[in-house]
A and B are shown apart, each in its own frame.
Chain A
Amino acid sequence: MEVITLLKPRFWSFKNVGFLKKINAGFFLFAGIGLIFLGGIFAVSYRILIYFQQVEDIGDILAYKLLSMTLLIFFSLLIFSSILTSLSKLYLSKDLALVHTMPVCSEKIFLARWIESTLDSSWMVIVYAIPVFVAYGIVYNAGFFFYTDIVLVLALLCIIASALSSLIILPVVFVLPASRIRSIFVFLGLAVLIILYITFRLLRPERLVNPETFSSLLVYLQNLGAPSSPLLPSTWAFDSLKAALSGDIKSALFHVALSLSCAAFLIFINLLVARAVYFKGFSKTQASISRLFQTQSKGFDRLFSFLSGPARAFVSKEIKTFWRDQTQWSQIFLIAALIIIYVYNFSVLPLDKAPIKTVYLQNLFSFLNMALAAFVLTAVTARFSFPSVSMEGSSFWIVRSSPISIRAFLWIKFFIYLFPFLILSEILIVVTNLLLDVFPFMMYLSVITIFFLTPGVVAMGIGLGAAYPDFASENPAQSVTSFGGLVFMIMSAIYIGVVTILEAGPVYMIFMAGLRGHSLSCFQWIWVIGSFSTAFVLSILAIVLPMRFGEKRLSFLK
């Protein structure tokens, strides 16, 4: 009963915020994008399964192997997501101090929090998993029982993952402070994912289409039939779904029962461990934060002595805060991996085997690369400069009460992010162009285009981040997933797209004229000048308008 009481504030808060009140333009936009995404997952899964069905002999093996792999990936994601969520819910949430003052025993608090954590960490994985399983149901003409089985299997998989995660967390909090564990897990989790991806990329799976590597494909096919470990909960889920697909209800229920008994056992163990250590761990987390930094930074401050006082104040504050916040490190790590993969992909492009003339293809890639590099820049901006105003958090009163205007504050932020991002994107474009061995004209064009695109994208990040700030968020880096973040991504994509389209025609004319040794006609010159001038004006507007919009919204923020 007390556990239900402890869960009520969450339910009431949800009710008070009101589902119906949230229905506005932003809601429909998000819902639309979400549905398109779900539809996409279903379409891709359906298409793959239909393709597998057409492959003689090994079609079903491939489909079942895919199902087994999907379940294993979901299970891993659930464990990772549960570790992060349960750390927050069990040890770091702000309301825990209040909850622990109530006359309720600690394992009941644990149980209530664990239920919340399980729901929070698994709902999204389930939502994205369902289209994949529905595709299986349709392709294999499964009956009603299969769809019931999906719900049972996924619910139990979530409970097991969450119970395993809390069993990991409970003793570890004894050794390390909870706040640091979260950073470590984010860091390790990202590292594992990135290493896996890079390894996968470096294996160059595209070579598998090459008949020369057929012998290794045979070895691969032999492995396809090998069963997964019978001790893994994802294997029980797979066995149950596989049985349900073929109509074997008895076997499906047997594997569901296996999962159920495991889940019940893990919850029981969790309660025992929680009774012994949960409150002690929570108490330890509340102890004062260790003093990590004993820094003297006179030399660092001298670096920016040429700036005006307020500008120096914010540059220095921004850089120090950034490097001392461990949650930012994982972001840098992720972006670094993205850039390495991006550059690596250019180094392995099989241009020499292409049927189109290489010189043309190289320069075409270089042109498209401008837009791609700008999209990489958008991702970096979304992660770092868009949340930078929200990062001020509860300390924003310092900015509001200080003798600098919101306009100056935003422009200082703009320049703080512009210079590193400009250097990064120019390096990116020059290195990839060198790998492509493009004409000097394309090199100059790329460098100049990126030089004008970068300020526009950064200004959109700062301006729209200021227009839609979230000062209350515990993790402002996630503000990019908000409505404002979505507006930024869409606006930035439109801006990059329009500039690319504006440049495409003139660049093609100039490039082809150079190749054929012709000169441009008067009309072509007008077109070239008109297009580039429009792109230039657009770039200026992309800087000024979002910054003004952000300034206006932030100035009148209550």
Chain B
Amino acid sequence: MNLSVSSGEIFGFIGPNGAGKTTTIQMMAGLLNPTEGSVIIDGIDMAAQPEKAKKKIGLIPDRPFLYEKLTGMEFLRFTADLYNIEQESFLEKTENLLNMFSIFDHAHELIESYSHGMKQRLIMSAVLLHDPPLIVVDEPMVGLDPRGAKMVRNLFCSLAEKGTTIFMSTHTLRLAEDVCSRIGIINKGILIATGTITDLKHAAHVGEANLEEVFFQLTEGES
């Protein structure tokens, strides 16, 4: 796979189950060592300088496993300490983020009492604490209610406008179609197509069809 994503882009990463989306994300985030090849984040090689590269990334995994015995606020403090965020800036940012994600009232409760959606919101707050230039997100809408989903969609767009890169793996093709500037389709570990929606339509020879039809057309031939 050879893929590069530019600054300020929202890149959608789609593919059938077991295609290799999560594996790619895990390699990008430094959770998995690639058997060959390299991952370069903002000019930094993940294998050579993993800590420096990870400082540039905010990872939102599909399953929100957190430290259940910490409170939401303590988890944010933990994240802030890991990224060496100053106390003053931490307090200000935390309040804004917790309010934005509607979990301010639950900030001092143990994470074990949070619902799936609340945990997802907490992870997003933690990721935004250190203003990463790249946000890698695996299935962003899982567990979020419609209001939360809309808020996240708007948030990604506004972050991209400010220059943050969003790399998003999703099965929600409508979401990818609406917010992504470019989309990559992966199947059986191979990147079979990349480009804007228009590029993909050309590649699939489907005329004015939507992304769903493009997806079926491109992945059917491969499977």
Interface, chain A (partner B; CB < 8 A): 288-297, 301, 308-310, 312-313, 316-317, 320-321, 324-325, 393-395, 397-398, 400-405, 555-556, 558
Contact = CB atoms under 8 A, between A and B. Distances in A.
Interface in B46-97: 50-52, 54-55, 57, 59, 61, 63, 65-67, 69-71, 74, 77-85
Contact of B71 (A289, A293, A301): A293
B70 A321 contact: yes
Which of A289, A310, A313, A393: most chain B Cβ within 10 A?
A313
Which 5 residue pairs across A and B have the least CB separation, nearest first?
A313-B81, A394-B65, A324-B69, A309-B84, A309-B81
Given A400-B31, A403-B51, A292 B66 contact: no
B108 A296 contact: yes
Given A317-B70, A402-B82, A403-B51, A558 B65 contact: no
B112 interface: yes
B109 A294 contact: yes
Nearest to B51: A403
Chain B interface: which size bin? Answer: 35 or more
Which of B30, B78, B109, B115: most chain A Cβ within 10 A?
B78
Contacts of B59: 397, 401
Contacts of B33: 555-556
B103 interface: no
Contacts of A393: 65
Contacts of A312: 81
B67 A321 contact: yes
Contacts of B52: 403
Interface string B129-151: 00000000000000000000000
A291 B106 CA distance: 10
Contacts of A321: 67, 69-70
A401 B65 contact: no
Which of B29, B32, B51, B82: most chain A Cβ within 10 A?
B82
Given A295-B108, A316-B77, A316-B81, A401 B71 contact: no
A557 B59 CA distance: 19
B142 to A, nearest CB: 15
Given A290-B113, A397-B65, A310 B81 contact: yes
B55 A293 contact: no
Contact of B66 (A324, A398, A404, A555): A398
A394 B61 CA distance: 12
B110 interface: yes
Given A324-B110, A403-B51, A295 B71 contact: yes
A230 B74 CA distance: 57
Contact of B110 (A292, A296, A297, A398): A292
Contacts of A395: 65-67
Contacts of B79: 313
Contact of A397 (B31, B78, B83): B31
B69 A397 contact: no
28 contacts: A289-B113, A292-B110, A293-B110, A294-B109, A295-B74, A297-B74, A309-B85, A310-B81, A310-B82, A310-B84, A313-B79, A316-B81, A317-B74, A320-B74, A321-B70, A393-B65, A395-B65, A395-B66, A397-B31, A398-B67, A402-B82, A402-B83, A403-B83, A404-B51, A405-B50, A405-B51, A555-B33, A558-B32
Contact of B109 (A291, A297, A313, A403): A291
A294 B109 CA distance: 6
A402 B112 contact: no
A401 B51 CA distance: 9
Given A293-B71, A317-B70, A401-B57, 5 more contacts: A289-B113, A295-B71, A320-B74, A402-B54, A556-B33
Contacts of A397: 31, 59, 61, 65
Which of B59, B63, B85: most chain A Cβ within 10 A?
B59
A320 B70 contact: yes
B54 A316 contact: no
A11 B168 CA distance: 40
A39 to B, nearest CB: 43
A317 B80 CA distance: 12
B124 to A, nearest CB: 14
Contact of A293 (B61, B66, B84, B109): B109
A372 B103 CA distance: 52
B195 to A, nearest CB: 29
A325 to B, nearest CB: 6
Contacts of A405: 50-51
A401 B69 contact: no
